[in-house]
Structure 1
Amino acid sequence: MIPFIWAGALSIELLAQSMVSEPWTKTLISIAVLAFSAAVSMKLRPMAASASMTLVVGLALLFSFAGASASTAETASSPVEVVAVAQAYSTVDCIVRVTRVDRFQVFGEVTTVNLPTFTASVVFKDDIRNALKVGQRFKGLFRLKPSHRDSPKIALVQTASLENLAQQKNWLESLRENFAATAKSITPDSGALVAGLAIGDDSALSGQMLTRMKTLSLTHLTAVSGANCAIVIGGVFLLLRRAGIRRFVTLTLSLVALALYVAVVGFEPSVIRAAVMASVVLLCAFAGRRVPPTVALSWAVILVLSLWPSMVTNLGFWLSVVATAAILLIAPTLYKKLSARMPAGFALALAVVVSAQLWCLPMLVNLSGGLPTYSIVANLLAEPLVAPITVLGILALVVAIVFPPLAALLYWLASFVAC
């Protein structure tokens, strides 16, 4: 329970601090949240004076580290010189390398002659936006202005035609391209859905399919989560244990495999949350301790927000956290009640879907602009197909490195299930 309180306190502190700018207000917020969380912690678990002091000092250091990380990240991504130019709404000649593309915005690393390199939210014209891929580089004129988002604080708007520069590929982008080259599917959307479930790449989904998934609250399927991490870790762990590899080597290689998968997928909020939570469980297992899932989730939130404080305002991160918490806290009780009235398998699926949808409902309504009427039924119908599609897709990703024809067959089978 204590890690759960700390995770909540850190979230409240960072969220409150993102809403104010005066230093004295930020200090007051930190002191108030620190005092409250320490008081609640000691109320739940009474401690000696020395232990209480250790608790307060530990929380203070945690909050200070998170605050320092937030300030450092903000300064690094939005240098003072760039902010000053953005406030003047100046036009700059620059090179933009696309670092992230999602349904709502594009992020890019911006290089200019007179300014430090910085990160910005980039607005391209429709002819370029519809075909964007991570790693693409463009040169041309953009208008620099303040962003209405918390992070990054700078936005670029395309003002003229752009020159498409040659991509500077690294091994990760080459691996993704190799995976895409094996994509032999029944239909374009079924193939795009396989890529979305396996590596979170939904860029090839048609507008019509995206609209349908949003209406039915199925967009979470293409967000890599704990299930994907569990498949990767479980596969590596099972393979190495069957081969008689020692426990230490098995756990180490499982963590390495997880890190490589996260690097391939990209550092999306849900991926980071799931990977950190899985790492906490693995490290505790290596130490010979079993950690309750709620404690692992709490420490994952603490670590993610301490290292990447900007996540506190990211809706995708909180959807991932809230859905996971609902499944851990509500689903078991709901399953016990439902299993007395229906088959166990159906009761388990219904308990998981209802729990996640119920706790995420306020955010889903805000995201979709309405009440997702068919979401529970749609998720119940889709859930049994998610696991085989994801497993086949991840296997295709791995096999594509050594034997592309087999990878193409696995991808085709996954797309057949996805039809």
Structure 2
Amino acid sequence: MISSRSETTSDREPALRPRHDLRLAPAAVTAWGVAAWCVGQSSRVTLVAAAVCLLLAVVVSRRPVVVVTACLVGAVAASTAWQLAAVEGSPVQEWARQGVVVDAVVEIAIDARTYRAPGGEGIVITGAVRAATSRLGGVADAGRVTLFVSGPAATDVEASRLTVGRSVRVSARAAPAEDTHEVAVLRVVDLELLPGVPWWWAMSEHVRAGVRGAVAHEPLAPRALVPALVDGDVGAIPDDLDEDFRRSGLTHLLAVSGTNLTIVLASVLAVARVAGVRRRWWSLLAVLAVVGFVLVARPEPSVLRAAAMGLVGVVAIGVGSAGGVRALSVAVLALLAIDPWLGRSPGFVLSVCATAGIVLLAPPFADRLRWCPRWIAVAVAVPLAAQVACTPALVALSGEVSVVAVLANLVAGPAVAPTTVAGLLGGLLWLALEPVGAWSGTVAALGARWIVAVGRVAGGLEGAAVGWAGPWWLSLLAVPLSVAALWWMLRRPVVAIGVVLALAVVVWRPPSPGWPPDDWVLVACDVGQGDGLVVDAGDGRVVVIDTGMEPGPIDRCLDRLGAQRVAALVMTHADADHVAGWAGVLRGRQVDAVVTGPSGGPDVPGIPVATAAAGDVIEAGQVRLEVLWPQDRDAALGEDRNDLSLVLRLEVDGVRFLLTGDIEPQAQRALLRSGADVSADVLKVPHHGSAHQDRDFVLATGAEVALLSAGRDNTYGHPAPSTLDLLATLGAAWWRTDLQGDLGVVVRDGRVHVLTRD
């Protein structure tokens, strides 16, 4: 008995106290911080930092750990200084400061992306200048630039053809770059796609095209997700799916990570084993697989991190591994030496944090779950460890924490590997024999449908994500507290299951006592940086005025209000932060009519659309909206869309609401000159409370209550202090969605009251 007990304890000891080689961890963490700081400094300052590190190594030469750390950090700092000096020494940077016109040949480094530009879509390209001339001279290999292509130049070329490895000839005006990694920003007036592309990039693009072709016959969501899983191609991911994945903690599936590479390497080595390839050739096959993976997935931060870890793992095949922490440290140090700007990359931060969490926390978490079957314990421990480790980064990036992430990853996880393998195989087969590739693509799409369903359901839950109220750095304290709580709870089945069930109830129907108020008239939904207003039309019907940027927030707001039918969907103007979330209004609801202003709006299939202007009346249920602006329903689309916003007046029980869209001072003054009655009791402040307000217009409203719809911590500074001062001069009390969440307006005995959900 004594012998048996001794063996059991010995067997469990590695799981209970895993031994990690932490000697390189201080160097990796310090180098990360130094690199992130140095890329914001000049090359001279960074060179001094490198010298200080080397001096420290000499002074404390008797402490090997300090010496190694100082030398490695100094090497990263020296590499950063050299790269910064190359940027600072580029003549194109001086051209940018002078704003000269540049003719350049640029090799594309990141696949082109589209963006919303005045007059239509624009294209943004990141690449390296191979040759450039201006009135100030000529230069070759001048550094990294970002190209913004809009207007006629953007319509003359397809963004899908502007892929990595191709070269373009541009004529552009140079402007200073905000990123120290780049020598200039080029605003392109003329672009020509040059022939020829290196064969390795051409092959990688063929594979990517094959993956897309293999699932081209599938519905949008799986058709978009399979390429994202296989090679990180997220160009077709719809906004609503991206939002659901973010809330459900599945966003990592839309960025290539170590999981993707692990699946690829496992598949390659499995085939090698079946084919009888000797073990000594496995490392070579794995290296080739890593190289091919980078070419197909593109050399972006998460891909490079995954590739670096893969190469470390390949070395371990032959010479053994000193531990996961050591492998991760080597990868971080190598990547920062090559590209120190990765230190500030969100993808890099999340990838490293997740890997560190899995390496350090997943084994002990799984051991604490020994009351479960081993496969369940591991399946729970891995996403749980990654989520805990990534919490500070997620809070800093999004201001939210996903509550359902662990469960969503647990349910979706089994489908990821088969979908990825089938998608990659389908892409390769599609290049040779399209029907066979399409069959494999169908198999991949089955897994993708399951993952999409999990993301939709989990992301659509009311309590799927919770906002972080305090500064992000407080979340750093949450990690050790969470680890301690989980360490205690996971060993106790009754407690663990009870907590999970309680969380499930809260996530499914989070408590909102008193919301919505029974007599609500209008609710300003918290849709982030945008507008989303809902007016009660009686009998479970509502009128929705604007929808915000994403479908999820307006959908959840309507669910909270019990809205079953939308009598009218009114879009004040065509800016994305007012109309892009329209699909959320249609989720499980009938929409009777769509009304837009002269600037138009998105095409909502199967629903009649009317264009409104001053003098029109929108009647829906018990709601009557008078249109005060704009005066011309055929206003030219070239005009400012903000000033073409519909301005609406609503009256309920003698209380007037003035809903102003995004009109700015020019339109505000014109509206006053038109003689329209703009007096109101409740004012929806124009343009999210921006500083662009006409004082006379705001004072003419005489409003007692002001509603401000803006996103938490938005980069526009909305609402502006000057606008809040103006409202104080007016004597209006104001409420803000960015601070108080949904705002409900009720009218009781002829008086206005505002209630908040938060």
TM-score, scaled relative to structure 2: 0.48
Aligned partner (choices 196, 204, 225) of residue 228 of structure 2:
196
Q: For residues 16 and 291 of structure 1, do their structure 2 counterparts lie closer, same or farther at Cα, with a shift above 3 Å needed?
A: same
Helix, strand or coil for the counterpart of 1:202?
A: coil
Is contact 1:30–1:63 with CA below 8 Å preserved after alignment? no
The code of the aligned residue for 1:83 comes to: Q
- Per mean C-alpha deviation after superposition, the further-off stretch among 103-112 and 200-209 is 103-112
Q: CA deviation at 1:320?
A: 0.7
CA contact (8 A) 1:199 1:224 kept: yes
* Residue 46 (structure 1) aligns with: none
**Structure 1 counterpart SS, 2:109:** strand
Amino acid at match of 2:199: N
Judge conservation of contact 1:62–1:306 (CA < 8 Å) in 2.
no
Report the CA distance between 1:221 and its aligned residue: 0.6
- Match in the other structure for 2:91: 81
Instruction: Please point out which of 132, 148, 166 is paired with 1:112.
Output: 132
SS at match of 1:93: strand
Which of these residues, 315, 318, 338, is aligned with residue 307 of structure 1? 338
Give the whole-Å Cα distance in 2 for the aligned partners of 1:323 and 1:141.
43
Q: Which amino acid aligns with 1:407?
A: G
8 Å Cα contact 2:27/2:72 also seen in 1:
no
- Is 1:70 matched with 2:80? yes
Which SS does the other structure have where 1:196 is aligned?
A: helix
Q: Which has the higher contact order (CA 8 A, sep 6+)?
A: 1
Aligned to 2:149: 124
Q: Does 1:337 align with 2:361?
A: no
Alignment of 1:231 with 2:231, yes or no, is: no
Give me the whole-angstrom Cα distance separating, in 2, the residues matched to 1:71 and 1:36: 19
Distance 1:325 1:398 in 2: 33
Q: Structure 1's 149 and 162: CA in aligned 2 closer, same or farther, altered over 3 A?
A: same
The one-letter code matched in structure 1 to 2:48 is T
The residue aligned with 2:359 is: 328
AA in 2 matched with 1:317: F
**1:382-404 deviation digits (Å, cap 9, x = unpaired):** 22221211121222244345444
Q: d(CA) in 2 for partners of 1:22 and 1:112?
A: 24
Structure 2 CA distance, aligned partners of 1:396 and 1:255? 22
Q: Which has the higher strand share?
A: 2
Letter of the 1:409 counterpart = W
Is 1:280 the counterpart of 2:312? The answer is yes
Give yes or no for the alignment of 1:6 onto 2:15: no
When the two chains are superposed, the root-mean-square deviation of aligned CA atoms in Å is: 3.3
Instruction: Report how many residues are paired.
Output: 405
Look up the match of 2:290: 258
CA distance in 1, matches of 2:331, 2:437: 33
Task: Give the superposition deviation at 1:352.
Answer: 2.0
1:270 aligns with one of 302, 312, 317: 302
Tell me the CA shift for residue 306 of structure 1.
2.2
Matched, 1:134 2:163: yes
2:381 aligned with 1:381: no
Partner Cα separation in structure 1 for residue 59 and residue 37 of structure 2: 18
Asked if the contact 1:89/1:144 (under 8 Å) is kept, the reply is yes
Contact 2:224 2:236 in 1 (8 A): yes
Structure 2 Cα separation of the partners of residues 124 and 212 of structure 1: 31
Q: Distance in 2 between matches of 1:107 and 1:369?
A: 28
**CA displacement at 1:410 relative to structure 2:** 1.1
Superimposed CA distance per residue, residues 268-299 of structure 1 (whole angstroms, 9 cap, x where no aligned partner): 21121122222112213312x23311211111
Q: Which amino acid aligns with 2:132?
A: T
Cα pair distance change 1:193/1:68, threshold 3 Å? same
**Cα separation, 1, equivalents of 2:54 and 2:221:** 48
Closer, same or farther: CA 176–32 of 1 in aligned 2, 3 Å: closer
- Conserved? CA contact 2:53–2:71, under 8 Å: no
Q: 1:301 to 1:171 in 2, by over 3 A?
A: closer
Report if aligned partners of 1:395, 1:410 keep a CA contact under 8 Å in 2. Answer: yes
Q: Which residue of 1 aligns with 2:436?
A: 406
Pick the aligned partner of 2:184 from 144, 154, 157. Answer: 154
What is the letter of the counterpart of residue 168 of structure 1? V
Q: Partner letter of residue 66 of structure 1?
A: V
Query: Cα–Cα, structure 1 residues 168 and 278, in superposed 2: closer, same or farther, change >3 Å?
Result: closer
SS class of match (2:172)? strand
Aligned to 2:577: none
Larger mean CA deviation between 348-357 and 219-228 belongs to 348-357
Residues 1:208 and 2:240 are matched in the alignment: yes
Gaps of 5+ in 2: 1-21, 116-123, 450-758
Residue 269 and residue 396 in structure 1: after superposition, are their counterparts in 2 closer, same or farther (change >3 A)?
Answer: same
Q: 1:318 to 1:33 in 2, by over 3 A?
A: farther
The CA deviation at 1:414 is: 0.5
Evaluate the alpha carbon distance shift between residue 36 and residue 213 of structure 1 in structure 2; reply closer, same or farther with a 3 A threshold.
farther
Contact 1:5 1:37 in 2 (8 A): no
| 2:327 paired residue among 296, 299, 305 | 296
Task: Return 264-273 or 239-248, whichever deviates more.
Answer: 239-248
Tell which deviates more after alignment, 367-376 or 389-398: 367-376
- Distance between the aligned counterparts of 1:314 and 1:208, measured in 2? 24
Once the two structures are aligned, what percentage of the paired residues are identical?
29
1:194–1:393: 8 Å Cα contact kept in structure 2? yes
1:23 equivalent in structure 2: 44
TM-score by length of 1: 0.83
Choose between structure 1 and 2: higher helix proportion. Answer: 1
Q: Secondary structure at the match of 2:102?
A: strand
1:52-71 Cα shifts (integer Å, max 9, x gaps): 46x66655553443334323
What SS does structure 1 have at the residue aligned with 2:218? coil
Structure 1 unpaired stretches of 5+: 43-48
